[in-house]
């Protein structure tokens, strides 16, 4: 079950991918129509964000029926056709299992509210403290307290996210059985890939206690020891029965040690994990809704620590810069205006040649960036709108609050996929649910015609299939103290790859290790890389130092046996 090591996963936010019926919202038939494009990327799986029935308060992460298709997205027949059509291209489907919480519109919650004690035990219902205060001092990740009145019972229910997302109590074996039933329902539809939403939150302690004054309440409920027990059980009951399963856990505020546990094959839990530490290097004091240029040294350190730590522990990283919750990496870590191509391809090189399984979020392969929105009214996400209100309440001016939301909003990655330069980006014949911007310059049609980012991604993806060194090679850092360049080696059966990524938009320099005199340029984001390396390798004293241009990426391959 390690085929995932040579796989690449493409993430599709269905609501924004392609609208087949002109209602302004993406749908499954829209994905089916774009399968030729998806197949042209060379990816092995497609992770779909949820398209199950949902009130849509959190864009589908508030699920009211786990085993159906939201009518706005299509029908079960559409889904079955989608699975078959992707399968015909050798592409697997990965579904998003949101099992930490349900929508308060879910039948289970409605029955609980109606007094059905069986279903009341599905959720964390607690009395207020004797002084009338909330059961714990925990806060919701979307702002405000994590407790909401449970009808007129005088109790409260826990919601770590929106108040319409009630946390499930996994201590209840009935809840665990329901989770296995959901996963097995989709397995019966031919699904072998599963992404588990905030799955390291399901191990909350039975006694929910206040976070000590001044501490982070996330420590009270994250990475609980029961998570491993529950994942091993769920694997045994469902996806672990499939030799070709690929599973990834989204791990909120986690650690390398915990993630080794979740993804070391010996533990029979998950194939791999997402962690987010590298995507918080532009958070002031760890707080998302702030403005801070990213800390390059911290970014390098974190990427290296997780690569080495997970390798040493036998764990496996999902590798990503973008997803539906993050602003576009090109805006955060690259340079959209002056070096769009160079920074996009450098960022891609940095993770696609690393140890782990790369994820490509729709649009990053053509260089999409954050929308040029000008008003808070352009933003629809519950998290962003709550944050804006909280920033104002903290005394920020509307301008200051907008600047922060503009930089950090999840909507930034949820704008419609840019298929062409038209007013609706070729996404819909109707009015897009979220306004596209920038498609005049950045779109699939243009990239296919004259682009260079899309071909580069296709080459990176194909290299992972061609070279076992990339999928299986041992990782080692190189020049860790270099202030500008992320450099590492991969070694496998005598082959050695040196990956050099200038993370800065200025010239830099990196020394080359011995023994690369005959190395070939495997991939690079400058067309003259072969001559550049040859020229500078010849004139420099040993150890040779190689200048790197702004956002330059070069991968040098030394084969054990010279290429035939
Ligand atoms: O996100 C988990 C999570 O922690 C997010 O709140 C993330 O940290 C935040 O959006 C970054 O600012 C998952 C889903 O990916 C997200 O879309 C859902 O809103 C959330 O869980 C609740 O299901």
H or E stretch at 482: none
Is the CB of 62 inside a 6 Å radius of any atom of ligand 1? no
117's tokens: 């004690």
Each residue's pLDDT tens digit, 64-113? 999 999 999 999 999 999 999 999 999 999 999 999 999 999 999 999 99
Q: Write the DSSP symbol of residue 55.
A: -
375's tokens: 């008003």
The per-residue pLDDT for 516 is 82
Please check whether residue 315 is in contact with residue 256, taking contact to mean a CB–CB distance below 8 angstroms. Answer: yes
The per-residue pLDDT for 215 is 94
CA gyration radius, the chain: 24
Is the CB of 197 inside a 6 Å radius of any atom of ligand 1? yes
Each residue's pLDDT tens digit, 287-296? 999 999 999 9
SS3 state of residue 309: helix
* Mean pLDDT value across residues 375-384: 96
252 CA closest ligand 1 atom index: 4
222's tokens: 């994250």
Most ligand 1 atoms within 8 A of CB, residue of 61, 160, 405 to mutate: 61
SS3 state of residue 40: helix
Please check whether residue 94 is in contact with residue 46, taking contact to mean a CB–CB distance below 8 angstroms. Answer: yes
Is the CB of 277 inside a 6 Å radius of any atom of ligand 1? no
What is the rounded distance in angstroms from the CA atom of residue 482 to the CA atom of residue 504?
11
> Which segments of 22-134 does DSSP mark as H helices, in order?
28-33, 35-41, 76-87, 107-113, 117-120
The per-residue pLDDT for 145 is 98
For residue 275, the Cα-to-chain-centroid distance in whole angstroms is: 9
The residue whose CA is least distant from atom 20 of ligand 1 is 61
Nearest one of 206, 186, 211 to 196, comparing CA atoms: 186
The residue whose CA is least distant from atom 7 of ligand 1 is 325
For residue 260, the Cα-to-chain-centroid distance in whole angstroms is: 18
What is the rounded distance in angstroms from the CA atom of residue 62 to the CA atom of residue 72?
15
Å from CA of 148 to ligand 1 middle: 19
Question: In degrees rounded to 5, what are phi and psi of residue 389?
Answer: -65, -40
Catalytic residue at 250? Answer: yes
The per-residue pLDDT for 69 is 98
Task: Give me the helix-helix angle, 398-408 and 382-393, nearest 10°.
Answer: 150
Instruction: Please tell me which residue in 27, 162, 197, 331 is annotated as part of the active site.
Output: 197
Instruction: Please tell me which residue in 70, 250, 383, 558 is annotated as part of the active site.
Output: 250
Is the CB of 13 inside a 6 Å radius of any atom of ligand 1? no
Look up tokens 């307290």; give the residue.
145
Is the CB of 166 inside a 6 Å radius of any atom of ligand 1? no
Please check whether residue 439 is in contact with residue 421, taking contact to mean a CB–CB distance below 8 angstroms. Answer: yes
Catalytic residue at 338? Answer: no
Arithmetic mean of pLDDT over the chain: 96
Is the CB of 63 inside a 6 Å radius of any atom of ligand 1? no
Most ligand 1 atoms within 8 A of CB, residue of 198, 222, 412, 413 to mutate: 198
Å from CA of 385 to ligand 1 middle: 15
For residue 204, the Cα-to-chain-centroid distance in whole angstroms is: 23
What is the rounded distance in angstroms from the CA atom of residue 391 to the CA atom of residue 383?
12
Residues 6+ apart with CB under 8 A from 456: 344, 345, 348, 523, 525
The per-residue pLDDT for 514 is 84
Each residue's pLDDT tens digit, 197-224? 999 999 999 999 999 999 999 999 999 9
Strands (E), 396-544: 474-478, 485-492, 495-502, 508-511, 520-524
326's tokens: 């993050």
481's tokens: 């103290």
Question: In degrees rounded to 5, what are phi and psi of residue 398?
Answer: -55, -35
With cut-offs at 50, 70 and 90, classify the pLDDT of residue 517.
confident
Output the pTM of the full model. 0.97
What is the rounded distance in angstroms from the CA atom of residue 177 to the CA atom of residue 173?
6
The per-residue pLDDT for 505 is 98
Buried/exposed code over 74-98 (b: 16+ C-beta within 10 A; e: otherwise): beeebbeebbebbeeeebbbbbbbb
Look at residue 310 and tell me whether its pLDDT is greater than 90. yes
The per-residue pLDDT for 562 is 61
User: Among residues of the chain, what percentage have pLDDT more than 70?
Assistant: 98
User: Among residues of the chain, what percentage have pLDDT more than 90?
Assistant: 95
Please check whether residue 354 is in contact with residue 475, taking contact to mean a CB–CB distance below 8 angstroms. Answer: yes
Å from CA of 383 to ligand 1 middle: 9
Give the burial class of 391: count Cβ atoms within 10 A of its Cβ; 0-12 exposed, 13-18 middle, 19 or more buried.
Answer: buried
The per-residue pLDDT for 384 is 96
160 CA closest ligand 1 atom index: 22
Three-state SS letters, 404-424: HHHHHCHHHHCCCCCCCCCCC
Each residue's pLDDT tens digit, 523-549? 999 999 999 998 887 665 555 789 999
CA triplet 480, 484, 485: central angle to 5 degrees?
60
With cut-offs at 50, 70 and 90, classify the pLDDT of residue 1.
low
With cut-offs at 50, 70 and 90, classify the pLDDT of residue 515.
confident
For 350, how many CA atoms within 13 A lie in the half-sphere containing its CB?
26
Question: In degrees rounded to 5, what are phi and psi of residue 156?
Answer: -125, 155
Å from CA of 267 to ligand 1 middle: 26
Neighbour order of strands in the sheet with 156-158: 125-126, 156-158, 147-149
Each residue's pLDDT tens digit, 316-333? 999 999 999 999 999 999
Å from CA of 59 to ligand 1 middle: 11
* Mean pLDDT value across residues 271-284: 98
The per-residue pLDDT for 540 is 57
What is the rounded distance in angstroms from the CA atom of residue 513 to the CA atom of residue 525?
21
């Amino acid at each position: 079950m390690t085929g995932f090591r040579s796989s690449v996963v493409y993430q599709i936010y269905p609501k924004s991918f392609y609208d087949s019926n002109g209602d302004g919202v993406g749908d499954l038939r829209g994905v089916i129509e774009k399968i030729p494009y998806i197949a042209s990327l060379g990816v092995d799986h497609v992770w779909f964000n949820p398209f199950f029935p949902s009130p849509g308060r959190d864009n589908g992460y508030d699920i009211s029926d786990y085993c159906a298709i939201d009518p706005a997205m299509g029908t079960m027949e559409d889904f079955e056709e989608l699975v078959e059509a992707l399968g015909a291209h050798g592409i697997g489907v990965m579904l998003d299992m949101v099992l930490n919480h349900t929508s308060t519109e879910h039948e289970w919650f409605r029955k609980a509210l109606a007094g059905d004690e069986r279903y009341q035990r599905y959720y964390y219902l607690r009395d207020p403290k004797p002084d009338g205060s909330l059961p714990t001092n925990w806060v919701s990740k979307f702002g405000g307290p994590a407790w909401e009145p449970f009808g007129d019972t005088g109790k409260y229910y826990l919601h770590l996210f929106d108040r319409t997302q009630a946390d499930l109590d996994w201590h209840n074996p009935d809840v665990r059985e329901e989770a296995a039933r959901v996963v097995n329902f989709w397995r019966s539809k031919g699904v072998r890939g599963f992404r588990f939403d905030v799955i390291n939150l399901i191990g909350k302690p039975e006694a929910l206690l206040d976070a000590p004054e001044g501490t982070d309440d996330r420590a009270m409920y994250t990475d609980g020891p029961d998570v491993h027990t529950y994942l091993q059980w769920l694997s045994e009951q469902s996806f672990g029965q499939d030799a070709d399963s690929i599973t990834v856990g989204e791990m909120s505020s986690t650690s390398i040690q915990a993630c080794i546990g979740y993804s070391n094959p010996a533990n029979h839990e998950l194939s791999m994990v997402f962690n987010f530490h590298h995507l918080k290097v532009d958070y002031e004091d760890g707080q998302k809704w702030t403005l801070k240029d990213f800390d390059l040294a911290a970014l390098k350190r974190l990427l290296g620590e997780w690569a080495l730590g997970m390798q040493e522990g036998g764990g496996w990283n999902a590798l990503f810069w973008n997803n539906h919750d993050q602003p576009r990496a090109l805006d955060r870590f690259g340079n959209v205006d002056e070096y769009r191509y160079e920074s996009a391809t450098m960022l891609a090189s940095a993770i696609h040649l690393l140890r782990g399984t790369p994820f490509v979020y729709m649009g990053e392969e053509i260089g999409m960036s954050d929308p040029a929105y000008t008003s808070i009214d352009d933003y629809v996400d519950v998290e962003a709108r709550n944050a804006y209100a909280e920033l104002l309440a903290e005394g920020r001016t509307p301008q200051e609050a907008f600047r922060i939301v503009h930089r950090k909003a999840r909507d930034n990655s949820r704008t419609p996929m840019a298929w062409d330069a038209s007013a609706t980006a070729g996404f819909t014949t109707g009015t897009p649910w979220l306004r596209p911007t920038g498609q005049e310059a950045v779109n699939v049609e243009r990239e296919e015609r004259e682009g260079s980012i899309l071909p580069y991604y296709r080459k990176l993806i194909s290299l992972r299939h061609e070279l076992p060194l990339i999928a299986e090679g041992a990782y080692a850092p190189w020049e860790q103290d270099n202030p500008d360049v992320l450099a590492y080696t991969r070694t496998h059966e005598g082959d050695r790859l040196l990956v050099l990524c200038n993370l800065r938009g200025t010239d830099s320099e990196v020394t080359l290790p011995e023994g690369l005199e005959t190395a070939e340029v495997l991939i690079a984001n400058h067309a003259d890389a072969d001559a550049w390396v040859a020229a500078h390798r010849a004139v420099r004293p040993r150890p040779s130092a190689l200048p790197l241009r702004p956002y330059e990426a070069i991968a040098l391959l030394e084969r054990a046996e010279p290429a035939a």
